[in-house]
Homo-oligomer: A and B are copies of this chain.
Amino acid sequence: MSIKIGILGYGNLGRGVEAAVVKEPDMELCAIYTRRDPGSVNPATEGLVVKPASDLDSAKEDIDVLMLCGGSATDLPEMTPKYAGLYNVIDSFDTHANIPSHFAKVDEAAKKAGKIGIISCGWDPGMFSLNRLYAHSILPEGKDYTFWGKGVSQGHSDAIRRIEGVKDARQYTIPVAESVERVRSGEDPELSTREKHLRDCYVVAEEGVDRDRIVKEIKTMPNYFADYNTTVHFISEEEMKAEHSGLPHGGSVIYAGTTGKDGKRHIIEYSLKLDSNPEFTGSVLTAYARAAYRMNKDGQSGAKTVFDIAPALLSRFSGEELLKMYL
Contacts and interface: CB of A to CB of B under 8 A. Distances in A.
B305 A259 contact: no
- Secondary structure of the A contact surface, majority rule: helix
A268 interface: yes
Contacts of A279: 259-260, 264, 266
Interface residues of A, number: 70
Interface string A83-101: 0000000000000100110
A239 B127 CA distance: 43
A326 B306 CA distance: 11
Interface stretch (A30-38, A61-69, A172-180, A311-319): A311-319
Interface in A290-316: 290, 305-312, 314-316
Contacts of A269: 269-273
Contact of A133 (B100, B265, B326): B326
Interface of A: 16, 19-20, 23-24, 44, 96, 99-100, 103, 120, 125, 127, 129-134, 136-141, 184, 186, 259-261, 264-276, 279-280, 282-284, 286-287, 290, 305-312, 314-316, 319-320, 322-327
